[in-house]
Every structure is written in structure tokens, then in C-alpha cells.
A and B are shown apart, each in its own frame.
Chain A
Amino acid sequence: MRTHVTLSGFAAILLAFPMQLTAASTVQFDTDIWPIFVSRCIECHGEQKQEGELRLDSPEHIRAGGQFGDAILAGKPVDSAIFELISLPTDDKEAMPGRGERLSKSEIDLIEKWIEEGAAFDGWRTDMQTAATKAVAAEDSATIPTLASLPSKPLSFNRDIRTILSNNCSACHGPDEAAREAGLRLDASEHASKDLGGRNAITPGSLPESEMIRRLFHDDPEQRMPPVHSNRQPSDEERLLLAAWVNQGAEYQPHWAYVTPTKEDAFPMQGKKNPIDELIRKELISSGLRKSEEADPRTLARRLSFDIVGLPPTDAQVNRFAANPSTKEYSNLVNELLESPHYGERMAMHWLDQVRYADTNGYHSDETRKVTAYRDYVINAFNDNKSYDAFTIEQLAGDLLPNATQEQQIAAGFNRMNQLSAEGGAQSNEYRAKYAADRVRALGSVWMGATLGCAECHDHKFDPFTTKNFYEFASFFADIEERGVYSTGETWDPIMHLPTMSEQEKLNQIEGDISDLEEEIAAKDIAESLSKWFRMSKFKPGAGWHPVRPSSITSIHGTLFEQLDDFSVLATGPNPQYDDFHTIVPTDNREITGIRLEIMGHPTLRKGLSRANGAPIEISEFAVRYTDSDGQVHDVPIREAEGDRNFFGSKADVTVDGKLHSRWLIRANKPITDKVTVVYTLENPIPRDTVGEIEVILFQRPLNKRTSVGRYRLSVTSDPAPEFNTTLGMPNPYLDATLDDFAAANQIADRFYRATAKEFKSEHSQLDKLHLERYTLVASLDNTLISNSVDPRMTRILPRGNWMDESGEIVKPNTPDFLPALDVEDRRATRLDLAQWLVRKDNPFTARVFMNRLWKLYFGRGISSRLDDFGAQGQWPTHPELLDGLALEFQESGWDVKEIIRLLVTSDAYKQSSYASEELRETDPENLLYARQSRLRLEAEVIRDNALAIGGLLNASIGGDTIKPYQPDGYWRNAQTFGGESLQYKTSKGDEQYRRGLYTYWKRSFLHPSLLAFDAPTREECTAERAVSNTPTQALVLLNDPTYVEAARSFAEKIIREGGTSSDERIQYAFNRALSREASSDEATILNTLYAQHREAYGNDADQAKDVLSVGQSMAPTDIEPAELAAWTSVARTLLNLPEAITRF
């Protein structure tokens, strides 16, 4: 941006004249005013541009004015357009000068004074105009490159230009309207060629007439683009490319990733031995390179095994293929590996990174949230070779499929993989906004290769996604039932229970017994006992507690209520953060001296008395008021509150202390049968003549949200001195003489009797037992988070992502305009529509994104090297026609994943040696042309699996629960849970310890340190590509983590038992087992020496030997001499620590 301090040439000389304003002097046009015009106005209001039809380069023109009318009105600064416009605040669009900084205060003052004094043109000479015009021209000079200096090759926008524009220009001249400078967009032809007041950014074919070029090559560094202060500076070469492109006609192309791949552009995949090789060969030849030799058979077998199943090959596999390395044997090996159930595990590892699978909720206390059934679904889906379109649809919308199977519902658990909060004080709406944004980012990351996250707050800076698109995507997921904030220790509803067959049978049996008992109670003839009970009670004196049946119950935050037969009230429906319960009790025409509150358990409350799972109830205040016969409302003072229990040192009397912030905490851990009673003695009785109603209010303002009372019952007494007791008296309808409908009252009494009478005591206690049994069984069932579709919540655009701002537009599910349209007519689109849209043939993303990631698994880098961003800031694919060819082939094969993998790994390109000659390293350091294979460090989980497999410890069972490998003590010390989950790390015992790494308990806030060391992501966010680092911590893990020491000892045992008798034989055996190859004699010597030294050292120190053999849970054999086993353990540790052992060559 240009500023007035950077004047050059003529203008600066003019400015050098003294320019002081004193009260005595009058303003002189030639020395005071003209320099300002020259330096700040004439560039746009001179002979060349005449913006606003105004010229300020001569007295005639100044007097003539422009579009705005009179530029100056002598003597009247306020009515002069010039003065008005230079006085506007800088952020006003009309403010002048239109570019650069505002005029200084003294300059504005000068102009004002000059107009005030009559706007005379003292000292004007006509040559001043000519000089000014020249000066302006000189100031605006750019050294535009000669055509001869431009690159002559034909340029393609997508290949050569897009990234340069995107990296250097788009932040200010891109799609984001809010950040746009000078109203200029350079990301599409129609914008770039727009007339911007006499100038175009781009005039195709003409460099001098393209302002973009002039500014790119401007002589004045202050005028040159991009601005000096920005981080963006294109190289000279890039500037010349832009010029050449403008010169060649500045043809734009739509971004490749947003265009549906077509047969015309794609490399044909049919009718060839291996189309991949044909294309890669073609590219290599044109670069003067040749592909590398095929790797030796042992390396190949090893590569295939790590790539397809994530485990080292068996000796048999290696030997078989090494003996006969034919194409046929090769493809046999490929098929064998693809059919292995470990293939699904290996594919799942990557998928779980992408969908951010984890075993904990992420935020704050980061507790267990069970979704292992989803992980099994993913493993099975790959093993069964489920078509990728079905795989997509089931995860996004399995629950919406007609007659959704259990498997499909589990799959839709994908929508629940986001982090969840149960932090006290968290605001529901804030977290709903976080979850919504999380899901959009996941959608973009997993299926679209698009970084949609940016658009949460502003239009995407580089890609055409707008903020509106972001929230439209979000609204697809607005139907997912969830809470903004969960309570600690409760389930992360909705969940689905996953009983085994026998558990289901047991459950059916319990439920059958419950309904049998309930029927039995209902069927029993009680006419006689009821009438007896009625007579007995009636003749009892009025004292005692009489349960009341409320005439209505309301809440202030949405809790609903169900009245039960025993006159208790069960809270149901929504469970808001906090709620007050207003209970209306009918008067019973007697004086009321006390009110009793019973807080009771219930089968639906699962654990304890509050609606939260196990968290205590917190009652702030208990208040009573009534309406007298005059309609006057009276608050009833309470003299005393007496509860039958105190908790955490809090007593019932804080519920009548008039303070909402003091709370009586009530906890019970006996589900269902527990009961807490409190008696409130009124200061003065509520008089007998009360009409209308008595209102009892339970104020609940808990610290732990959603801990409202689950079930309660009110009773009243007229006893002059209400006693604390828990007996149940006659219910009030029978005592209410005014009740007209005796039949109804009889019915109520009948049900009350059956629900409470001693006569049914054994049935009730049996029922309680059954409910408890049922509860315990259900709680022990495996479960998984699922998607449950409810009425969609309203989705608004949140201005700048601010969840408290409710001014944004309301949006509906939709896909962006620049992509193929949804086909839903007028109906609201659903997740199912979205999923089906993703797998439509004309969707440009899904197939390409997945093919690119698959390619990366087998070749080390994507065809487009940015796996997570296909957008303008991504990398142009090295072989776009191959990517498109694969995408189309994938679609045509019916989204057959195994088929494509077979195609990839049977190519010659895949089979090449990974050796990089000097020449290859020079000419193609990043291996963009695939003249060799890549070398890949194994992933974190596979490094562990590999060691366990070599050591013979690996438990190969597939699927199921998580495991907890050895972990340093106290690693969770800074973690904290609030829901009773133990922070004790319970290391898996027995065989479980040795299951594959992908089953590791994935605690987001404290991921297992060995996994973390080898770059496993925490999965708080979606990860398409793991970093690959090389750190000292990795060395420490392989050297010292008990997992690796134990694996080495177990490996040592195998060496001794299976490796022959001489140490030479044993070393060959060990090398083969660990590295699938023979040891050279030099290598063997090194290990022989190590063995011999350590055999001696451990022989001299039996304790040390015993210690090293005792690492890990598995027992060391007793029939091998400890020093011998310890020495071989050193050899085994050495092998497991070799870079070669953790690298796929």
C-alpha cells in the first residue's frame, strides 16, 4: 500500500518546500496545496485516469468538478466535495484518497483554510501540470519483463499458476470477502478481468495493461505486490510464470479436485497388463529415467506382508516365495495376505486415524466412552471387502437405512466419534457448536479431502467454500441425538446395548418374570382387605402422614413428570442442567402443620436417586405457599427441616435457609430401593379454609449439572407437632370430603393399595430384586455409542464462529453450489442424502480421496502428496490422469477395495527396489516419478506387533475389547476423573497383554507413551497422514519399554530352542526370524562377540541375569540356564533395535 511518506521524484521535491500554517500567513496554492494534489490526488484524478470524472491537475479542471459536483466552493469548505471526502474517517468507503493513508491533519487543515480563503490559484503556471503528469507516470513505473524473457512453454493454470496465486495472492484477493483488499479477486477469470475504475487486474495477452503485472514488477518497493510486510514473496521465477501466463491469454481452469473425473481425462485402466506401469513408464521415459530393478524376493515378501497385514511375514511365506519368485507365486502371496483377517486390522488402523476413533471422550476428565463395536465393524468391513460406497453410507447414515441392522447402527457410531464434554460449568450451546464444527471437519477430512474447518469463522481463503456452506454441512448432522454437556459418570447417550446370546436370554427371562409379577399383583382380589384397610385408617385419628396426589407438576426448564400409583412422582423426559419442580397439592380441608418429602429410587434411575448416573442430588431450597379464600398468596415460613441422613457434612436445614447457593447434597448408592426422607415443620399451620391450592417448590441449582431429583413423594400432616417418621398413612383423596367422584377415588385407592400395602410386600421386594438384577445385567452389557435421529435442531450461521451470537441466518442441509447438486426436491435433506451424494458417480471427491490415500499406503506418498487437502493449497497430483483413472476404476469395480489393492501391489512400480542411487537422489529426491519404491518406517502399532510376533508372543485374536499394554507408573497422574472411573491403570493380564497395538486403550489426553513416541495421533482431530519422526525417545522406547525387553527374552528362548545348537546357527536363525534374511559373516561376528561377552558377564552375575529375565508378565523358562537366556536376550534386543527391523524397505 502506498503512503504519502514514500513519495519519490518530483512530488518529493515539491514537498520539500516549507509548509507551515501560521495565523498570519495565507495559504499559497503553488507551494502549499499543489504538492498535496500531486502526491496524493493526481494519480487517479489526472489526465490518465480521471476517476469519478474528476481531474485535479489544473485550475480549470478543479473548478469544473466531477461526478460529485463541485470539487470546491470558494469560501465554503464544508460544501466542497474535496474537503468533505478527505475529512471522512478512513474506514468510510467514500473517504479520499482512495488508496494509501489518510491525509495528515495539517494537510487537511491547509486545504480547508485554502478554500475558506477563497481557493485562489496563486502562483499557478501551466508547466506545473505537465511536470505533475510526468511525475505521476514516473512514480507508477514498472519494469515489465520483455516477452523474450518469459518462459515459453505452454502453461496450464492448474499445474503452473494456481498454487502461485493461492500462496501469494489469495489471502487478500481470494474468495474470503471479509479479508478482500481493493475489491479485487484473482481466483477466477470473471473477477480478475473486471473493470476496477479504468484498470483491469488482468487484461489477457497484454502485460502493460494488466495492473497485476504492473504491480508485480513495480519499481517502487512500496507499490510492489505482494506488500513487503506480508509473509508472501513469490520468487522471480514465479513472477515470470505469472507474466507468461497473462501473456498467453490468462486462461483459468476450474480446480481439478472440484471437477468430476471423466474418461477423457483419465488414464484408461482397461485392457492392459498393468495400466499403472504403462503410465509411470511413459512419464519416466520423458524425464530420461528408468525404473529400478525388482526388489529381491525376501524384501518383496516382507514389504507385502507389512503393507497388507501390518505384520512380518512367516518363515514359510518368505521361503516359499524366495524358492520360486514367479509372478504366480507372487500373486498367490498377495491373495493369501488379502484373505488374512489381519488385513482388516491393518486397514482399520488408518481408517481409525481418519475418523478419530478413541476410547475416551477427550475433553477434561477424558473418561471411557465405549465404541469398540465400531472398531470391530471397521475391521470386519475391510475383511469382508464391503464395498466402499456401502461403507460410507453405513457410517454416515446407517441408522437411517430402512430396517437398519444392528451392524448398520453400530457403523453410524461414526457420527459420535467427536470429543464430548462433561466438564462442570460447560455451556450446552457452546459445546453443541463445537460438536457440529467437529463433524463438519471430519466430513471434509474423511471424504472430501477438504479443509472445511476454516469456513467456521470466515469464507475459506483459498477454496470456494463459504461460511454458509460450513453451516449447511453442519445442519445435516443436526438430527443427531446428543447432549451439549454430559454428566460425569453417566453413559454417553444414546447408546446401544450389545448383549450376547446368553445375556439376551437372561434379560428376556428377567423381564418375563417382572411382567408376571406385575400381572399377579394386578389380578389379586383385594376387595376385602382394601375395605378393611380403609375402615381401619378412617377411624384412626387425624394424625400421621398422608401422601398427597398432586393435581399438577410443572418445571421451569422442561423436565416432565409421571405420576405413579403410590403417589410418587417420577421425573422423565429432558434432563436439563438444572430445574425447579413446582408441585400443586389439592387442599384436603384440614389444617396442615407439616410436609414430608420422600426422595425415592426407581428402576429407571439406574444408580442412586438423582437423574444423573450416581452423582448426588443437590437441593437448594424447599418452599411452600398457598392461596387463601380471598385469592391472596401466602409464603409459608418453615420452622424446621429434619432429614434422616446427612451427606458430605451438609444438612437438610440448608434447604430452608433462603439461599439458593447453599445446597443439601443427597447421595445414595443402592439403586431402586433407597429412600431419603425429610420432614418440614411449618411455622404456622396452613389454615383449614384454604381453597385453591398449596404449591410446593423444589429449587435445584446444582454444581454438578443434571442431578435433579428422580422420584419423590409429598405427604402432609395435621399433627400439632409433626413427628419425624417414615410410616405411610392413608392417601388424601379418601380423606377429602369434598371429593365427588368416589368411583375414581376408589380406583386410585385400589392402585395405591396394590402399590404400597404390606400384603404385597414379598411381591414388591421380589420386583425390586428383579429390577436390580435387570439393572445390573444391563449395566454390564457391552455397549456402543450410536446415532439416533431426532427432530433436527435449528442451525444458524454463527458469525465468526461465536456461539453466543444468534443473529446469523438459519440454514438447511445443503451442498455447495459449485458441486453437483443434491437431489431432494423440497424435502429437508438428511445424512442419508449426504452419504448418497458422496458416493454418486459425479461426486468429485470420494473416490479420488480414497484412492490417493490407498496409493500412499503402498507407495509412501499420495499421487497428490497432501492427503488431507485437495484444495488450492494442496499439491497438484504428480499423475492426475492416473488418480482419475484409479478413481473411475474404483467406482466401476463396485468400490472394490481389495481389487484396487491387488492392482497396486502387482504393478512393477510397486515391486521395484527402494534403493536410491546418487543419480535418482539428485534428479528426483522426493521420488515424484516412482523410479524406485519408498522406504517407510513402520507405524507405532506395527512396531509393537512386529516385536511381539518375532518374540512369538503375539496374540492374533481379532476384534473385541481394548487392551492396556505395560505403561510407566503414574503416567496418568495429571489426569482426573469425576465419575468414579478409576485412574488406576489396569495393565492387561495374560494373553490379552499381547494383542495387537491397534487395540490399545486410546486415551486421547494421555495416549500410551510408546504409541505417542512413534507418532501415533491422539485422535482428537481427524488425521489423514501421520508425521514420521526420528527422536531419542523412540530409542528409549525400543531399548527400555518392558514390552520390547519381554519380547526379546521370548525371542531369545525361541533362538535357543529352535535355532540349532551352535551360536552360528542360532544367529542365522535369529536374523531370519527378525529380518527375513541371512546374516553376513561380519554381521554374525558382531553378534557372536556380543553373545560371548554377555554370556560371561551374566554368568558372573546371576542376579542381573535373573532380573533381565523377569521383565514382563510371562514367565521365563526354568529349563534354560539364566545366563545363556540373558545373553541371547541381548542379541535379541540388538536385533529388535535395528533401524532395519522397524523399516519396510
Chain B
Amino acid sequence: MTEEFAHQLLSTRRQFLSRSAAGIGSLALGSLLTPNALANEKNSIIQNALQYAPKAKRVIYLYMAGGPSHLESFDYKPELERMDGKLMPKSMTEGEELAQLQGADLWIMGPQAKFARYGQSQQEISSVFPKIAEVADDICIIRSMKTDQINHDPAHTFMNTGTSISGRPSMGSWLTYGLGSESENLPGFVVLSSNTGAVSQPISARQWHSGFLPSKHQGVEFRSLGDPVLYIQNPDGVSQKVQRDVIDAVQELSKLRNDIVDEPEIATRLSQYEMAFQMQTSVPELADFSSEPDHILEMYGTKGADGSFAANCLMARRLAERGVRFTQIYHRGWDHHARIKSLMPAQAKSVDQASAALIKDLKQNGMLDDTLVIWGGEFGRTPMAQSDGRDHHINGFSIWMAGGGIKGGITHGATDDLGYNAVEDVVHVNDLHATILRLFGLNHEKLTYRYQGRDFRLTDVAGNVVSKILA
């Protein structure tokens, strides 16, 4: 919240506190019950970390949970096709960590989708993504991703927090901790998850938890069923006026009390009541797509905020417009242990149009330049068949990024001929995090938080900025 807004708040609301204009301004989005010394320490850490000219102002992360196959999407392997049905060379897999294929015979399975080249940049993309292929020149495909964790739960945790140990802050929390929110009536870190229908692997709220960072940095889930934000709706029988009266009474009583007890936290809490009330108004407006022209709805392929991936992509753009720093959309159902040939195109269809529409829409609004879009899952899938599907795979997989200071129309890195190991310009999860922070002008080694006696970072103890993909 800006100072100006704080003043406005004070003058438009009944003047409830005489001594805290500055206090509200600086504490508006929530404060810890900590002495100012700590706040100053935090500021100096962030000043110290802000070392580069920021390119991105916000992130929209299209999180493909379950581990989409790179071999049917963005990493074409002719050699794999040639070796289809043959045994995997032992030298490649011996001593390697496998998930469900541990101990099984390892048969190679060729790509189950056709590939072609698209755009001026001639990026190679599978036929399951015809719409994403249309924005080929805007996206940077990274084919050399690597992660450490081979099971869903720890792999999600690793992708989001830079370590597989539970209890660390997620990247959205780190970003809002570092840069705050630009929104006055919305949280800085919003999580959406789209309806997939099918039974999918679970996603834990741990993935957007703030860990040891103050809880105001926690991702707030915007839901498509029930209230869009938990507890956002007035109770039954409580009109907006009644709610306002109650909040006003709380503020007036607290002002009187504060004259006696003189407690700074009271001012903060009252400003949070204001923020809550603002959210109660702004959130329903946000979920109301009636102001969107038809051609935009059609471009995304949605009719309204129905919890589909398409609707959530449009919602993400609306959130971005309103200053939300980090929006993450979880789309589950990529865990293709079986029937990949039929399931992959079906699953791809559920995200293809809207993913591309988001890029096009941001571009036409001029927002793509400072909005970083990331598309990818927690790991890839094995070149080896698991029945007629593929198992989890961590040594090489693909994601793509666009906008926000990323060079479009390029493919970065490569896996080996069989798509097994990332071998060229390897990008580890920690490198990805370092790069994301760098796009915001932050040095990942300097953005730290002292907890249990240690300075923690999003990148743990690793991470190199992937400078080749920076625009």
C-alpha cells in the first residue's frame, strides 16, 4: 500500500487513529510483531539483493503437475524413433534412480507424437500443441532441465522451494518477500488450480506456503468452486452494510481502547480489516468476466470463470493487470504412466489454446515485456516404455518461458540422442530459480532470510543464472 493510499484510507474512513499515518503506510500489508530493527534489516537485505535493472514485474507460472513428457512435446528425438522397441543401453541406466521402472526391463519407446518446425525461428514443437506452435517466436524452449527428485511430492517441493525438505518458502513467497505487492486490494501471490476432471496426483498447499517467511507472503488460493478466496464472502444474512457497520464498530472501539493501551499492533490490525473489506469487493469483480469482450473469451476458449484452465489463464491476466506479483496455475493430470499416445494429446488440448492465448493477449496489451510466463512441470518422462506409457524422469526434461526479459524464439540446451540426459547447457532447478530472480533484478545469492541461524535462499546453496536466454 502506498503512503498516499494510507492517507486516503484515513481520511475517507472515520479518523480512527491519530498517531499512525506512517505506521499504516508501512505496515499495510501485514506485519510481524517484530521490532523495527528487523524491518530495517530486511530492507537492507533487499537493497543489497537488487543489483540489476529489473526486466520482469510479475510472473504467471503455468504449472503442469504430474510431469509432462518432453519427448511428446518440445524435445524431438529421431534416434528414439529409430530405436523404438529396442533395449535401452545398460550403460545409460545402470546405477540410476528410477521410479516405478526400478528393476524392470527397459524398452525404448519412440516419440508418440509428430513434430514440425514453426515460426520464423523454426522452433521444433509437437503436433499436440498446435496453438502454442503459433507463438513459437515468443517462447524460449529449455530442453535441458534437470531436477533432483523423482517422486511427485518431493519434486513439486523442490521445483517450488529449491529443496525437497518441507517447510521452506516457495518462489512466489520469496518474490513477494523481496519485492512486495503492487496491488492494493489483492494478495501478491495468488494460486489457481484448474479442474481436470480425471483422477490426478495430489498437490499440497505446501507448494505455495511461505515456510519460515512471514505468513503474509503465503500464496492465497483463488478457487473456482465455492468462494473464490476462503472466507471472502459475508456470512449468510450479513449484508455488505451490516458487515461495514461491524467493521466500523470494531475500529471505533479499538481506537478508544488504544488511547489507553497504546498498542501499535492495533493500528496494523485495523488496516488489515480495511484490506479484507476491499478484497471482499474486489475479488468478486475480478471473477466477473462480463467486462471482457467476446473475442478475448473466444481466444482463451472460455465463457466465464468456471475453473477451467482457460478461465484461469484469463484470470491470471486480470490479476497481472491489477498488480499481483506471482500467479501460479496448477494444471494436473500429466502423469502418463500408461496410454501416453492417446492421453497426451487429450491433456495437451486442455491447455494448448489458453496457454497460447495468454501470450498473445499479454503481447497485444503490451504486458508481455514485463510479464514472465513459465510453462512446465516438476520433471519429464523416461525414453523407456512403461507398458504403453512413460515413467518419471529427472535427468532431462523441457519447459518454456516467455516475456519478462526472456529471449523469444530460441531453444536452449539439449538432451542426448535418446532424450535421457540433459547434456548441453544444463539448467538445474536452482538455475531456473536464479534466473527468475535475476529477471526481477535480484541477485539470488543476496536475497536471504535468517532462520535457525542460517541465511536461507531460494536457490539453497546452488544456482547459476542462465544468461544465454536473457533478452
Q: Are B446 and A231 in contact (CB under 8 A)?
A: yes
Spot the interface stretch: B119-127, B241-249, B341-349, B433-441.
B241-249
Do A425 and B32 form a contact, CB below 8 Å, given A804-B95, A1005-B202, A1030-B269?
no
Q: Is B154 an interface residue (CB 8 A)?
A: yes
Task: Flag if A1097 contacts B241 (CB, 8 Å).
Answer: yes
Chain A residues in 8 Å Cβ range of B445:
231
A1134 adjacent to B246 (CB under 8 Å)? yes
CB of A968 closer than 8 Å to a CB of B: yes
Q: Is the CB of A1042 within 8 A of B237?
A: no
Tell whether, in the assembled complex, residue A1030 and residue B246 are in contact, meaning their CB atoms are under 8 Å apart.
Answer: no
**Docked-complex contact B246 and A1133, CB < 8 angstroms:** yes
A925 at the binding interface (Cβ < 8 Å): yes
The answer to whether B20 has its CB under 8 Å from any CB of chain A is no
**In the complex the two chains form, is B452's CB within 8 Å of A451's CB?**
yes
Interface size class of B (residues with CB under 8 A): 35 or more
A1027-B254 in contact given A423-B151, A1139-B263 (Cβ < 8 Å):
no
- On whether the beta carbons of A1032 and B276 are closer than 8 Å, the reply is yes
A1030–B237 CB distance below 8 A: no
B245 engages A1009 (CB within 8 Å): no
Contacts A660-B105, A1027-B215, A1029-B216: A1090 and B235 contacting too (C-beta < 8 A)?
A: no
Q: Would A969 and B226 count as touching, CB distance under 8 A?
A: yes
Q: Which residues of A contact B165 (CB under 8 A)?
A: 453, 1021
- On whether A1040 and B231 interact (CB within 8 A), knowing A701-B104, A869-B453, A1137-B250, the answer reads yes
Min CB distance B61 to A, Å, is: 16
Q: Is the CB of B453 within 8 A of A873?
A: yes
Q: Nearest CB to that of A364 among chain B residues?
A: B153
On chain B, the residues within 8 Å of A701 by CB distance are 103-104
Choose, from B133-141, B193-201, B350-358, the stretch at the interface.
B193-201
Provide the residues of chain B in CB contact with A424, threshold 8 Å: 99-100
- In the bound complex, residues from chain A placing their C-beta under 8 Å from that of B226 are 968-970
User: What per-residue 1/0 map shows which CB atoms of B64-89 lie under 8 Å from chain A?
Assistant: 00000000000000000000000000
Q: Which of B220-256 contact A (CB under 8 A)?
A: 220, 223, 225-227, 229-239, 241-243, 245-247, 249-250, 252-254, 256
Interface size on A, residues (CB 8 A): 104
List the B side residues contacting A366 at CB < 8 Å: 202, 204
Give the nearest-CB partner of B277 in chain A. Answer: A1035
How far is B199's CA from A916's CA once the two chains are assembled, in angstroms? 56
Residues 247-297 (chain A) with a chain B CB within 8 angstroms: none
Would you list which residues of chain B between 301 and 340 have a CB under 8 Å from chain A?
Answer: 330, 332, 337
CB distance A1009 to B30 under 8 Å?
no
- B212 contacts the other chain (CB 8 A): yes
* B26 partner residues in chain A, CB cutoff 8 A: none
With both beta carbons as reference points, the residue of chain B lying nearest to A704 in the complex is identified as B100
Contact A1030 B151 (CB under 8 A): no
| Chain A: CB-nearest residue to B213 | A1027
Cβ-based interface call for B448 (8 A): yes
> Which of A363, A461, A1108 has a CB less than 8 Å from the CB of B238?
A1108
Chain A contact residues, majority secondary structure: loop
Chain A residues 922-973 with CB under 8 Å of chain B are: 925-926, 935, 937, 968-971, 973
Whether B284 is near chain A, meaning CB under 8 Å from some CB there, is no
* B3 CB–A CB distance under 8 Å: no
A1143 to chain B, nearest CB (A): 8
- Give the CA-CA distance A1082 to B279 in the complex, in Å: 30
Rounded to whole angstroms, the CA-CA distance of A423 and B66 in the bound complex is 13
Residues in B whose Cβ lies below 8 Å from that of A916: 262
- The distance from the CB of A482 to the nearest CB of chain B, in whole angstroms, is 18
| A937-B33, A976-B200 known; A1009-B99 Cβ under 8 A | no
Instruction: Let me know if A937 and B231 touch, CB within 8 A.
Output: no
B-chain residues with CB within 8 Å of residue A968 when the two chains form the complex: 226-227, 230-231
Give Cα A874–Cα B452 distance, bound, in whole angstroms. Answer: 7
* B21 to A: closest C-beta gap in Å: 18
State the Cβ distance, A187 to closest chain B Cβ, in Å: 14
Chain A residue at minimum C-beta to C-beta distance from B241: A1097
Which residues from chain B contact A1090 at a C-beta distance below 8 Å? Answer: 245-246, 249
A1032 touches B452 (CB 8 A): no
> Known contacts A873-B454, A1029-B30; is A1107 also within 8 Å of B215 by CB?
no
Q: Which residues of A contact B448 (CB under 8 A)?
A: 231
Which residues in B have their C-beta under 8 angstroms from that of A976? 199-202
B236 to A1107, Cβ gap below 8 A? yes
Contacts of A1105 in B (CB 8 A): 237
Cβ–Cβ contact B235 & A421, under 8 A: no
Contacts known (A1020-B167, A1030-B269); A578 close to B235, Cβ less than 8 A? no
A461: B residues at CB distance < 8 A? 454
Using known A-B contacts A1105-B237, A1108-B236, A1138-B250, determine if residue A662 contacts B453 with beta carbons closer than 8 Å. no
7 contacts between A and B (CB under 8 A): A426-B151, A661-B107, A662-B387, A916-B262, A969-B226, A1035-B269, A1036-B230
* Shortest beta-carbon contacts, A-B, top 3: A873-B453, A1108-B237, A1107-B237
Contacts from B to A (Cβ < 8 Å): 27, 29-33, 35-37, 48, 95, 97, 99-100, 102-105, 107, 150-154, 165-167, 187, 193, 199-206, 209, 212, 214-216, 218, 220, 223, 225-227, 229-239, 241-243, 245-247, 249-250, 252-254, 256-257, 261-263, 265-266, 268-270, 272-273, 275-277, 279-280, 330, 332, 337, 385-387, 391-392, 445-446, 448, 452-455
